[in-house]
């Protein structure tokens, strides 16, 4: 079912962009990159947020009648609603990635040039005046803003299909809360990269964990589950169980992402090896390492972290330092602990059994991923 659901969400995104494309191009042909770059970005990804939204909806019994997209071309009204909202979450995620890559000055995303780099290349290829980097950043910001608007359009379209206004309003409130939290988390992330020296050493881990929760954990798992469950008219008890599952799983998700940001295979992650080290990410992994390492090693780590010119040998040296300190092993234990908390939250929960099985499979996929 999940594979076919991903295809259905992909088709919804394709149709939505195909509908918006002519409207954008009608303004000016020079705007075609907005549609082209959006389509390229939205073709990739694992659709985790969309899937958690769907299974949150299903878990409260909303999808009990089932649906097989191979048997009918037209999904039932309620399912069409949740598919639209799930697809809207994917567009929101794409917008966040575009903005995040600008803030981090990342060159690549999903194995392709990041959106702001594409705009910069467009500037260079056409021999325009002024700064290519400045044009690229401005173009990327506007693309991210456009995607945010489009995500809201698609989510509103989906919520309008619901028969229950109470459910629609509850889901909208969850989405609005998610937008506030992830924006706050993004700011806290860039704040920590630049202000960490002014924070007491004893607070470094807690501050890194706070970034992890609000920038990623809630937005990646907990919020999509709550949005879907709210659309399905889930009870307070059902939503509480899904939140108790979603937050620790989201924490584990981001902890895995932090490890991949340092040790991931570029051919799999689509990002350069050690990219988080060059960007100076003050992650939980780095906070733990700074507490574990001797003072001389901490000084070297602090000196190199955030240097965009780090070469391959320096990256490998920092990787060995993190491994030898036992910091990676500690993060792996944190991942395992949070997965246990997530699974325990579903024991005896008043949720659909088949949906719980799928949530368990999704948890495995999230934690064991390599990109």
CB 205 within 8 A of CB 133: no
d(CA 134, CA 104): 15
CB 270 within 8 A of CB 112: yes
CB 334 within 8 A of CB 255: yes
d(CA 277, CA 261): 8
pLDDT higher than 50, residue 92? yes
Task: Tell me the pLDDT tens digit for each residue of 196-205.
Answer: 999 999 999 9
Burial of 112 (0-12, 13-18, 19+ CB in 10 A): middle
Task: Tell me the pLDDT tens digit for each residue of 4-40.
Answer: 889 999 999 999 999 999 999 999 999 999 999 999 9
Can you read off the two tokens belonging to residue 141?
Answer: 């910001």
Instruction: Parse the chain into domains and list their residue ranges.
Output: 2-367
Distance of CA 128 to the CA centre of its chain: 34
For residue 64, the model assigns a pLDDT of 57
Task: Tell me the pLDDT tens digit for each residue of 136-191.
Answer: 999 999 999 999 999 999 999 999 999 999 999 999 999 999 999 999 999 999 99
d(CA 259, CA 249): 15
Q: How wide is the angle at C-alpha 218 spanned by C-alphas 216 and 223, nearest 5°?
A: 125
For residue 269, the model assigns a pLDDT of 85
3-state helix, strand, coil in the chain (%, to 5): 80, 0, 20
How far apart, in Å, do the first and last CA atoms of the chain sit?
A: 23
- The architecture that CATH gives domain 2-367 is Orthogonal Bundle (1.10)
Task: Tell me the pLDDT tens digit for each residue of 269-319.
Answer: 888 889 999 999 999 999 999 999 999 999 999 999 999 999 999 999 999
Task: Please state whether the predicted TM-score (pTM) of the whole model is above 0.85.
Answer: yes
For residue 111, the model assigns a pLDDT of 85
């Amino acid at each position: 079912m999940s594979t076919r659901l991903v295809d259905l969400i992909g088709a919804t995104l394709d149709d939505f962009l195909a509908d918006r494309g002519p409207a954008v191009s009608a303004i000016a042909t020079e705007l075609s990159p907005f549609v082209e770059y959006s389509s390229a970005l939205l073709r990739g990804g694992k659709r985790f947020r969309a899937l958690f939204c769907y299974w949150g909806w299903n878990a409260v019994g909303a999808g009990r009648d089932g649906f097989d997209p191979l048997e009918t071309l037209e999904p039932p009204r309620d399912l069409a609603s949740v598919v639209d909202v799930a697809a809207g979450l994917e567009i929101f995620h794409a917008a966040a990635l575009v903005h995040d890559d600008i803030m981090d000055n990342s060159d690549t995303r999903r194995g392709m040039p990041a959106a702001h780099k594409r705009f910069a290349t467009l500037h260079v290829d056409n021999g325009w005046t002024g700064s290519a980097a400045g044009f690229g950043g401005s173009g990327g910001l506007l693309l991210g803003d456009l995607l945010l608007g489009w995500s809201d359009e698609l989510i509103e379209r989906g919520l309008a299909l619901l028969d229950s206004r109470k459910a629609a309003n509850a889901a909208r409130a969850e989405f609005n809360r998610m937008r506030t939290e992830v924006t706050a988390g993004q700011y806290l992330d860039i704040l920590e990269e630049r202000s960490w020296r002014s924070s007491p050493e004893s607070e470094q881990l807690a501050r890194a964990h706070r970034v992890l929760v609000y920038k990623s954990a809630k937005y990646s798992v907990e919020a999509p589950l709550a949005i879907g469950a709210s659309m399905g008219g889930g009870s307070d008890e059902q939503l509480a169980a899904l939140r108790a599952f979603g937050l620790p799983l989201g924490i584990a998700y981001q902890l895995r992402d932090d490890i991949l940001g340092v040790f991931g295979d570029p051919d799999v992650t689509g990002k350069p090896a050690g990219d988080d080290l060059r960007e100076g990410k003050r992650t939980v992994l780095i906070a733990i390492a700074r507490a574990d390492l001797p003072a001389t090693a901490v000084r070297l780590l602090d000196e190199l972290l955030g240097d965009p010119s780090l070469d391959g040998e320096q990256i490998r040296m920092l990787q060995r330092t993190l491994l030898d300190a036992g910091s990676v092993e500690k993060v792996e234990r944190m991942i395992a602990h949070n997965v246990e908390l997530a699974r325990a939250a579903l024991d005896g929960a008043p949720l659909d059994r088949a949906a719980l099985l799928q949530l368990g499979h999704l948890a495995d996929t999230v934690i064991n991923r390599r990109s």
